[in-house]
Structure 1
Amino acid sequence: MDFLKATFVIPFALYLIPSLTGYNITYRKYDIRNIICDTLKDTDIILSYDHSVILKYSLDNKGHDFRPSFYCKYKVLARESNMGIIAIVQKMRFRQFSEEICIDYLKLKIDGLPTCGNILFGKTVNKDGNISSTYENYIRNKYWTQGTHIQEDHTLETEMSLNNHRPQINDTLEMEVAYTGFRRCYEGSSSEWFDCGHNVCIKSTLINDGIVNCPFGDCRDEGNCEYARRQAENETK
């Protein structure tokens, strides 16, 4: 990694959007289109244990004759050498031709499978608005869901694409993904760390805040997924 580039890009990005960070300094929030991809090219985002990163995108068509066309890739880098990276789609409404074919997509890992459709806390939301309990991926005898990725090492490259296929009237495209640093629980436990299960620990400051940081589909750091959903809905009112 070009160290000079990284040290220049990240402070500049933080300086550009103080209003997006809100009052919760645990999370650094960025507009993926206007900040991460359009303003600063080939951005490297630095992640620490104490500060998670949330990237957001939204487009409300409102009946306009508009064809979105957008492509972006970026890297999330762990600050500490022993840190892994958890990526969880907090919410998503991306278009699909079918259950197997995406019109718009997010690849949490650039060489991984595309994620699209209606996703909440990394899990598929069905037509009735219920959160699916299905696990789509399997690794090392552990499960995680469609909109979740666990990166063991300190670099995760993500890719996002919006197709120029014309949206239907009143289509809303939106996506929010949270990146969280984790360590293995056997490296030492204390009240500063929260056990997500499967030997994955995150900082305790990240629990019960409406953002799901634990990657195994049970929303453990928020009590459960329905509680997290209600809390997130209250935050947007």
Structure 2
Amino acid sequence: MAYECLFTSPRCVFFTFTLLNQLLPSILGATYHSHDVTSDTVCNRYHKRELQVYMSDPVILETRPESAHMLTLGLSLSCTFEMEAKGFYTTGVVSVVQSMNFRSHGDNCLDYMQTIYEDEDNDMKLKRKKSKKKKILKKVVKAAVLSRRRRDTDDEDGRGPRICGRVLFGLQVDENETLPPPFADPLPPTKPDQGVLSSLFWDAPNPYQSLVSDAAEVDHKGEIKTRLHISNRMLRQNEDVNLKVVYTAYQECDGRRVPESLFHCGYGLCISRSLVNDGLVNCPFGDCADEVDCASAKEANIIAKVLHYERTDETSVWWIILWVLVGLVLMFLACCGGIFLFMRRRKH
């Protein structure tokens, strides 16, 4: 029966594909997948783009020299995209702005990034309507979400503040890029306590919301939705606009007993150890823990393996070839299994 399941069950085939998707990055090492934020893969005016991130496959979204012509000509860019964490044991997703130089006019941001906190799917809304008995309790939890949300929101529709100006490793900095001193005390080893009531519902407050740095986000449900806007005002002389954001999948852990394959950022949030000391900051709490400290990160060279996607590429050619080969092998095994079962039944 086990032999028949191996070759005939769709569930077994799906499990094999999923297992290979997890094992290959671990064998090949961590690889950052870099996309131009102005490409259609990331930013589309009419449709929300969705990208995926794994523990050993973080994603970089950045402005590149080839997209500078858009800014030089004064073309605007405005879109919404979503980053979703995938993989076994993955809990959520982290975003850290590595560098940003966005324009502002007084207190108003001309260019900005903005997190969308409440953009629920219709399916989730329908599920909530079905549980009428918990309606009152959910209102209490929703009030707790609003009360514990870090920073004042831009408006009342569930959007975070607009982030602009100069940013380095998730921290707002001045023109000289002066970084704050390292933390005096280590961060706690466990996740902040949400309370028994909050943990029972999907509406539970994000325990990391008030702990991350100014230009970093953590979503414990595994989805970060972002609004990106670049003004159509043409660049002035000696003016520059640039952005580089790293998205990393994480899993919850006990900082007192961290597995060898993981690195503890603080507050029970762990990332893949293969991302440590690679020149890119993945920890979101403002101390650049995975790069020793922020001063070291500023001086470090990027040694991470980065796979750059061209503006017209939706996926890597090499990954397409690899998955085609894997698919052919699985189809061959499935055919062999089918022939074996056919011959076996024919004999009986």
Query: TM-score, with normalisation over the residues of structure 1?
Result: 0.77
**Conserved in 2, the CA contact under 8 Å of 1:45 and 1:75?**
yes
The residue that corresponds to 1:173 in the other structure is: 241
Tell whether the 8 Å contact from 2:275 to 2:282 is kept in structure 1 after alignment: yes
Listed one character per residue, the Cα deviations across residues 127-164 of structure 1 (whole Å, up to 9, x for unaligned) are 33212469xxx966952211101111021111100111
Are 1:126 and 1:132, in contact at CA under 8 Å, matched by a contact in 2? no
For 1:86, give the aligned amino acid.
Answer: V
Is 1:151 matched up with 2:219? yes
Maintained 8 Å contact 2:288/2:294: yes
1:46-125 equivalent positions in 2, closer than 5 A:
46-58=52-64, 66-80=73-87, 82-98=90-106, 100-109=107-116, 111-125=159-173
Task: Measure how far apart 1:232 and its partner are.
Answer: 4.1
* Inter-partner Cα distance in structure 2 for 1:105 and 1:165: 13
Q: Pick from 267, 271, 278: which aligns with 1:198?
A: 267
Aligned pair partner of 2:179 in 106, 115, 131: 131
Cα distance 1:164–1:141, how it changes in 2: closer, same or farther (>3 A)?
A: closer
Structure whose alpha-carbon radius of gyration is higher: 2
Decide whether aligned partners of structure 1 residues 40 and 47 sit closer, same or farther in structure 2, where only a CA change above 3 A counts: farther
Kindly provide the amino acid, as one letter, of the partner of residue 170 in structure 1: N
More strand, by proportion: 1
Query: What RMSD in Å do the two structures reach over aligned CA positions?
Result: 3.2
Identity of aligned residues (%): 26
Name 1:14's counterpart in structure 2.
none
Unaligned runs of 5+ residues in structure 2 are 1-27, 118-158, 183-205, 305-348
Distance change (3 Å), C-alpha of 1:129 and 1:219: same
Q: In the superposition, relative to structure 1, how do residues 47 and 174 fare at CA in structure 2: closer, same or farther (>3 Å)? A: same
C-alpha displacement at 1:165, in angstroms? Answer: 2.3
Local SS of the residue matching 1:205 = helix
Q: Distance in 2 between matches of 1:219 and 1:226?
A: 9
Give the letter aligned to residue 80 of structure 2: K
More helix by share: 2
Tell whether the 8 Å contact from 2:98 to 2:167 is kept in structure 1 after alignment. Answer: yes
DSSP 3-state at the match of 1:33: coil
Deviation at 1:65, TM superposition (A): 6.5
Partner of 2:290: 221
Bigger CA drift: 150-159 or 100-109? 100-109
SS of residue in 1 equivalent to 2:211: strand
- Matches of 1:85 and 1:214 in 2, distance apart? 11
Maintained 8 Å contact 1:61/1:167: no
CA-to-partner distance for each residue in 1:17-43, whole Å, 9 max, x for gaps? xxxxxx985211111112422599532
Q: In 2 relative to 1, CA 181–43 (structure 1 residues): closer, same or farther, beyond 3 Å?
A: same
Q: Is the 8 A contact 1:124 1:132 kept in 2?
A: no
Query: Which stretch shifts more, 104-113 or 225-234?
Result: 225-234
- Shift of the 52–120 alpha-carbon distance from structure 1 to 2, 3 Å rule, reads same
CA distance in 1, matches of 2:50, 2:78: 16
Paired residues, number: 209
Contact 2:280 2:297 in 1 (8 A): yes
Gaps of 5+ in 1: 1-22
